[in-house]
Structure 1
Amino acid sequence: MAAIPALLLAACTTAPTDEGSGDEQTFELTLAHSYTEAQPQHRCGAQVIADEVAAADVGLTIEIFPSSQLGGDADRIASVASGDIDIDIQGASALGAVYEPISVLDAAYAFDDADHLAAFMASEESDVLTAGFAEAAGVYTLGAWSAGARHFTANTPIRTPEDLAGLRMRFPGSPQYLMNARALGATATEVAYEELYLALQQGTVDGQENPITNIVASNLVEVQDYISMSAHQLNTNLVIMSSKWNDLSERQQEALTAAVVTAVENVTECIAEDEETILAEWREGGEWEVIEDVDRDAFQERAVAYLEENFTGEALEIFQAIRATSD
């Protein structure tokens, strides 16, 4: 699932630490993301990349900065483009701020599952997408993984699109997420992720949607009665890199690429294992009710029809290419 980096336009500003063996230089790379150290994106993703690169012994070391220590998503995208951050893990919708078509990876029901994402990332169509992103933003795409499917939570079950009527559902404020809300039949209310728990507790919003690991990290079980297993969107993360890539030797590039491939596999497995454990606890614990009989076909038919009608140009081509790689 690691995409081959495309042509990069931005200039590199970070200097190597010293000379390595022969003509190879040694580099200390920064890797930033917004997740906590307990979440799979860190322990099975970022940490695996750092460990695999260190084990390769090719003159690369990676220092990780989790939990938005180096800024929020928008700030970090700009820092990667300028070369102030070397590697970052970002959601596709956040990257849409600098290259709108890439946000289609976060479209409702674009992907069926993690295997479908892998199939698309291995296709020529994904190379076109990442090349366009590199040309527009000056950033390489090293790989992509699924951070789990997103599901609805509320104080009432949500089994069909009609059940969303009258509910104020929190969605992230990016254009793609707000488009997803309309496609699914929801009335979107924008609330910052950090303020979500309080907004639900105080009734500012009636419900929300997130992958299971985020729901756990935010303790939303304390302020919601139902989780409805809609799986309406695959939460897609991309591993992106600044023009520092151009300074690495071929051996270092190969080691970093291999590390990302391993991390993609590990994150996918970790997410699946974590979700299975969490769901078993929820079903047995009774803290809230897990709604299994969601009419996903109804949601998907509505969403895909809406998106195919409202996407235009390159975004529509990408969405159709993604759907074409579905089993």
Structure 2
Amino acid sequence: MKARTKRRGVALVAGAVAPLMVLTACGGDDGGKKGGKVEISLAHSYTEAQPQHRCGAKVIADEVEKADVGMTVKIFPASQLGADADRIGSVVSGDVDMDIQGASALGAVYEPVATLDAAYAFDDADHLARYAESDASKKLVTSFADETGIQTLGMWSAGMRQFTANKPIRKPSDLKGLRVRFANSPQFLMNAKALGANATEVAYEELFLALQQGTVDAQENPIVNIDAISLDEVQKYISLSSHQANSNLVIIGKVWDELSAEQKKVLQAAVDKAVDQVPGCVDEDEQKTLAKWKKSGSLKVVDDVDVEAFRTQVDSYLRKNFNKEQLAVYEGIRESAK
């Protein structure tokens, strides 16, 4: 699998080449026991308007349908089958077949993979693409598969995470005194400490109300998520800190072993096409959304953030606080930045 560029977005394929090839080889001689008609459930937490659905999950389902190999993909968007933290357990158990997940949620079953969500681990989407092709990435997803039985079929860039608040955030000291919403996962909470933020845990679904009522003062999310839940109505500034790559991994559980070699090939090709399209869709949405905010003034765009000050502070903190396995993953990521 190769990294591909579409518009200004970079499509990423996870380094699961080794386990994927092994499983395909083992399933090549089906003997009539595999490859019957199968409906695969594909879950994610995004709305149907977001690029992760319309350019990602829907493309996967449509491509599989067109191939007509006795396999269909039924999509369950908007956390219908549970929140991220719950769905990963469902994939392991086989109650959910496929999922589109962030690395932090996957850390619940294999801690090292959450390091992909470390603050400033990736410089940008191009860097993430280079890492996805690296030996370090292939080693990580192979270990993930060995530990959990979950295969990684692809990875895409879903934009960089940015801060919003009722004041500009240009340097680490600007976070002092702010209650900043971070997702409830060990890696996100470590990111908060590394960035110098006072983290408050609030569910994504409750974030608008929390900001409106003043339970939290600020938050961080990619632009497409900020727009999806209309946070411009309850925040005044978006500061383009680009402090974390918001990657999605497309994973599959036990149903993989039930597919014929042909079905596996079709499903992989469908994921590849989605991987190719999502980053460009994200980029287009981001540019349109930023233009909309600038025109309306609903969110003032702060584009002179001292990213290097944040990056230097974060790198020092993470290297001191990661365990051995996390540090190995982090160093592999940073090595691919060169």
Other-structure match for 2:15: 3
Q: Does 2:287 align with 1:276?
A: yes
Other-structure match for 2:245: 234
Other-structure match for 1:12: none
CA contact (8 A) 2:159 2:246 kept: yes
Other-structure match for 1:100: 111
Task: Provide the C-alpha distance between the structure 2 equivalents of 1:23 and 1:121, rounded to a whole number of angstroms.
Answer: 30
Other-structure match for 1:26: 37
TM-score by length of 2: 0.90
The one-letter code of the counterpart of 2:294 is: R
Task: Provide the C-alpha distance between the structure 2 equivalents of 1:3 and 1:86, rounded to a whole number of angstroms.
Answer: 20
Describe the superposition over 1:52-98 as per-residue Cα deviations: whole angstroms up to 9, x where unpaired.
Answer: 11222222211111111111222211111111211111111011111
Q: What's the secondary structure of 1:147's corresponding residue? A: strand
Cα pair distance change 1:223/1:123, threshold 3 Å: same
Describe the superposition over 1:75-125 as per-residue Cα deviations: whole angstroms up to 9, x where unpaired.
Answer: 211111111211111111011111110000100011111221111111111
Cα pair distance change 1:319/1:3, threshold 3 Å: same
Describe the superposition over 1:12-66 as per-residue Cα deviations: whole angstroms up to 9, x where unpaired.
Answer: xxxxxxx9x9974221111111111111110000001111112222222111111
Task: Provide the C-alpha distance between the structure 2 equivalents of 1:127 and 1:57, rounded to a whole number of angstroms.
Answer: 31
Cα pair distance change 1:2/1:319, threshold 3 Å: closer
Displacement of 1:174 in angstroms is 0.4
CA contact (8 A) 1:5 1:140 kept: no
Work out which of the residue numbers 265, 270, 281 in structure 1 matches 2:276.
Answer: 265
Task: Provide the C-alpha distance between the structure 2 equivalents of 1:72 and 1:245, rounded to a whole number of angstroms.
Answer: 23
Describe the superposition over 1:220-261 as per-residue Cα deviations: whole angstroms up to 9, x where unpaired.
Answer: 111111110000001111111012111211121111111111
CA contact (8 A) 1:106 1:234 kept: yes
Task: Provide the C-alpha distance between the structure 1 equivalents of 2:269 and 2:115, rounded to a whole number of angstroms.
Answer: 26
Task: Provide the C-alpha distance between the structure 1 equivalents of 2:259 and 2:36, rounded to a whole number of angstroms.
Answer: 8
5+ unaligned residues in a row in structure 2: which ranges?
1-12, 21-29
Describe the superposition over 1:125-172 as per-residue Cα deviations: whole angstroms up to 9, x where unpaired.
Answer: 111111221122221111111211100000110000011111111111
Q: What's the secondary structure of 1:287's corresponding residue? A: coil
TM-score by length of 1: 0.93
Q: What's the secondary structure of 1:31's corresponding residue? A: strand
CA contact (8 A) 1:2 1:260 kept: no
Other-structure match for 1:119: 130
Give 1:31-70 correspondences, 5 Å limit.
Answer: 31-70=42-81
CA contact (8 A) 2:34 2:258 kept: no
5+ unaligned residues in a row in structure 1: which ranges?
9-18
CA contact (8 A) 1:197 1:223 kept: yes
Between 1:73-82 and 1:176-185, the stretch displaced more is 73-82
Quote the sequence identity (%): 60
The one-letter code of the counterpart of 1:211 is: P
Give 1:147-296 correspondences, 5 Å limit.
Answer: 147-296=158-307
Displacement of 1:309 in angstroms is 1.6
CA contact (8 A) 1:153 1:207 kept: yes
